[in-house]
Amino acid sequence: MKYNNIDFNNKTILITGGAGFIGSNLAFYFQENYNDAKVVVLDMFRSDKTLSNGNLLSFGHYKNLLGFNGVVISGDINDAKLLASLEKDYKFDYIFHEAAISDTTASEQDLMIKTNVNAYEDLLKIAIKHDAKMIYASSAATYGDSDRFEVGYEQPNNVYGFSKVMMDNISYKYMQQNPSTSIVGLKYFNVYGEREYFKNKTSSMVVQFGHQILAGKTPKLFEGSDKILRDFIYIEDIIQANILACGDVKSGVYNVGTGKASSFESIVDTLQKELQIDNGKEYIPNPFVGQYQFFTEANIETTKKELGYEPRYSLEDGIKAYIPEIKRLYDAEVKNAK
């Protein structure tokens, strides 16, 4: 499905983090809808490098790009020589910046700021030189402990959320200094859907619960999960927002969610209903109290007005659409990993 009337054919598009969850979905959106678009994927593909919490440094996976026929570059956005070569060798029309260290439990503050903040500014300078539209991933993690989920009420409670606030601040500065350059930040809420599996432990609880249920296990929920509410958004609506941001829209930072909070308990209920498997539920203590958001719900009125965005998937609809892929992944990946 095309989300606006822009013709991306014969345009050159850079997608950083393009072997990751959202980036790979964007790559295939252009491939499936615009045969003559030149799509360049940049990703620091996974290796055995880990963060101090044991999670992988990079989640980029070649399997997310199986069938992709564009340009694939393996590299680190912190590499100044790589960015210089991109600036020299290409003339980008659009830059979708999805690359980041997105692990909210990571403690490496230096690496987080270097990757998420400083490298972003370097990419933004390329966008300005190329007169390219910049669409970048911000995050609902910027709101942290805030009780008001509107741009301007950020209150991050971890370094990841802080890094995204700094990205937004840099963007505002460049918007003022370069009014002719289109810069749009999208604050993603809790995204789930196809091509997230290789995020491992940081993938959504939708796919994690789905695989627990298919394995015959009892889903483990944090105590009080019926009162832990998040704005869960299906990947198709994230792609919609990114494509709408390419239009003649006002530079700014916008929330991208459904505008409706749902409980983790409801995820399990919906999965068990759709999978027709009921293994009950098990409740465990929440070890992340103090660095955990217990409620998020996007205010998307400005996003609707300025981008023409309208979420198409409720949580129930998104899970229903996702079920065939959850089953396929279980058979192809989970069983083989045992």
Question: Pick from 16, 19, 25: which is nearest to 193 by CA?
Answer: 25
Confidence at 105, pLDDT banded by 50, 70, 90: confident
What pLDDT is attached to residue 292? Answer: 66
What pLDDT is attached to residue 145? Answer: 86
Structure tokens at 15: 């997608």
Determine the average pLDDT of the residues in 314-332: 98
List, as one string, the DSSP characters of 87-110.
HHH---SEEEE--S---TT---HH
Between 98 and 55, name the one with better pLDDT: 98
What pLDDT is attached to residue 307? Answer: 98
Determine the average pLDDT of the residues in 151-168: 96
**291 has a pLDDT exceeding 70:** no
Query: Is 49 among the catalytic positions?
Result: no
Whether residue 281 contacts residue 221, with contact meaning beta carbons closer than 8 Å, is answered with yes
Whether residue 31 contacts residue 64, with contact meaning beta carbons closer than 8 Å, is answered with no
Determine the average pLDDT of the residues in 95-107: 93
Percent of the chain whose pLDDT exceeds 70: 99
CA–chain centroid gap for 134, Å, is 16
What pLDDT is attached to residue 338? Answer: 59
Query: Is 199 among the catalytic positions?
Result: yes
d(CA 290, CA 283): 19
Name, in order, each residue with C-beta under 8 angstroms of 190's C-beta and a sequence gap of 6 or more: 140, 204, 230, 231, 232, 233, 257, 296
Structure tokens at 276: 């027709």
**152 has a pLDDT exceeding 70:** yes
What pLDDT is attached to residue 290? Answer: 64
Radius of gyration (Cα) for the chain, nearest Å?
Answer: 19
Tokens 């980008």 sit on residue:
92
What pLDDT is attached to residue 287? Answer: 84
Per-residue pLDDT tens over the stretch 264-286: 999 999 999 999 999 999 999 98
Determine the average pLDDT of the residues in 103-126: 95
d(CA 274, CA 57): 34
Which position among 160, 188, 192, 313 bears the catalytic label?
A: 160
Whether residue 219 contacts residue 212, with contact meaning beta carbons closer than 8 Å, is answered with yes
Angle at 140 between CA 73 and CA 207, to 5 degrees: 70
Yes or no: domain 12-337 corresponds to CATH 3.40.50.880: no
Q: Which residues pair with 190 in a beta bridge?
A: 232
The helix, strand and coil proportions of the chain, stated in percent and rounded to the nearest 5, come to 40, 15, 40
Domain boundaries, the chain: 12-337
What pLDDT is attached to residue 104? Answer: 86
Identify the DSSP state of 292: -
Between 292 and 216, name the one with better pLDDT: 216
pTM of the model: 0.96
Which position among 11, 133, 187, 199 bears the catalytic label?
A: 199
d(CA 110, CA 240): 33
**93 has a pLDDT exceeding 80:** yes
